[in-house]
Amino acid sequence: MTERQKQIGRNESDARTANELVSVDGEQAKLAGHETLAVLCECGDNDCHEPLTMSVDEYEVIRSEPAQFAVIAGHEILDCERVITTHPGYLIVEKFGDAGTVADAADPRHNLKTCRVVVVDDIPEIRYLLRIVLAVDPSSTVVGEASNGAEAIEVVDAMQPEVIVLDLEMPVMDGWHALPHLRRVAPTAHIIVFSSTEVDARLEKRLANLGADRFVRKGGDPSIIVNAVREVATSGRDRQFAGDGDGGGRHVDAADDDNPGRRSGESVS
């Protein structure tokens, strides 16, 4: 194996990436009543740009398998891929071994946004800013917005995002009051408090006890909040808190807190 196989996997993924752009058009073509799609041969030869024609539906079936590619008959590379189906004009091949692994990892659809974020802030410009900066990050996307805590509970309950970015000072219901409810409706979501409020160690602890995972001060470089979203989304909640060094033992007095959804051992980092 395998440098060659890996290269072939990469080449086919490049063709796939090009075809992904076409297939967006393909959806529009289908809406317009056209059923067929011209795509590039997805073979491992980087210099092959031969077109092949298939239906939009056929392409979507191939696309749903990251290691399957459409190639012109004769362009298959049998030490990296096996022929799955023969169609008039093209073959469907499936990569195996290292080529399959590389193709899978490079699948452009893996880059679809995986971290869904709900943004809660009473200032529309802040929500807009967050939507833009998070859209630029390849892993995250804003799927919902709310302008106060009460709205946030409904939106989060409906959307079940991976991450909630929560302002503290808001009308109707502020972030402090919303936190335990958000923790209850979305027990596995990561909650990042994003506020211009001065938060000292005591308030940080209180936020943690209410269910916040992290505090980010407003007003810094936008990359700080983007990185925080990415970090919490990739860390996993339990692992994040296991590494706190305090034994995960931050508990709150029950009398202090009427939040049934909060789990112990959480802290603001």
List beta partners, residue 117.
Answer: 142, 163
**Residue 16 lies near Zn ion (rule: CB under 5 A):** no
Please count the residues of this chain forming the interface with Zn ion, following the rule CB under 5 A: 4
**Residue 229 lies near Zn ion (rule: CB under 5 A):** no
**Residue 29 lies near Zn ion (rule: CB under 5 A):** no
Query: Closest approach of Cβ 42 to Zn ion, in Å?
Result: 7
- The Cβ of residue 28 has, within 10 Å, a number of other Cβ atoms equal to 11
Judged by CB under 5 A, the residue of 6, 16, 63, 75 near Zn ion is 75
Query: Closest approach of Cβ 226 to Zn ion, in Å?
Result: 39
- Which range of residues in 47-55, 87-95, 191-199, 250-258 is near Zn ion by CB under 5 A? 47-55
- Which range of residues in 69-77, 116-124, 190-198, 232-240 is near Zn ion by CB under 5 A? 69-77
- Nearer Cβ to Zn ion (47/221): 47
Q: Write out the H or E segment, with its range, that includes residue 244.
A: none
- Which range of residues in 29-37, 38-46, 141-149, 164-172 is near Zn ion by CB under 5 A? 38-46
Give the rounded distance of the alpha carbon of 200 from its chain centre. 32
- Nearer Cβ to Zn ion (75/190): 75
**Residue 183 lies near Zn ion (rule: CB under 5 A):** no
Cα(63)–Cα(107) distance, rounded to whole angstroms? 9
Query: Closest approach of Cβ 111 to Zn ion, in Å?
Result: 24
Residue type, 174: D
3-state secondary structure 187-206: CCCEEEEEECCCCCHHHHHH
- Nearer Cβ to Zn ion (43/229): 43
Judged by CB under 5 A, the residue of 18, 22, 29, 48 near Zn ion is 48
**Residue 95 lies near Zn ion (rule: CB under 5 A):** no
Cα(45)–Cα(265) distance, rounded to whole angstroms? 53
Judged by CB under 5 A, the residue of 8, 37, 41, 153 near Zn ion is 41
**Residue 155 lies near Zn ion (rule: CB under 5 A):** no
Query: Closest approach of Cβ 69 to Zn ion, in Å?
Result: 10
**Residue 43 lies near Zn ion (rule: CB under 5 A):** yes
Question: Contact, 192 vs 207, CB < 8 A?
Answer: no
Q: With the CA atoms of 169, 172, 174 and 176 taken in that order, what torsion angle do they form, in degrees rounded to the nearest 10?
A: 160
Cα(267)–Cα(186) distance, rounded to whole angstroms? 17
**Residue 8 lies near Zn ion (rule: CB under 5 A):** no
Question: Contact, 152 vs 211, CB < 8 A?
Answer: no
Question: Contact, 9 vs 95, CB < 8 A?
Answer: yes
**Residue 18 lies near Zn ion (rule: CB under 5 A):** no
Question: Contact, 105 vs 12, CB < 8 A?
Answer: no
Question: Contact, 106 vs 99, CB < 8 A?
Answer: no
- Footprint on this chain of Zn ion (rule: CB under 5 A): 41, 43, 48, 75
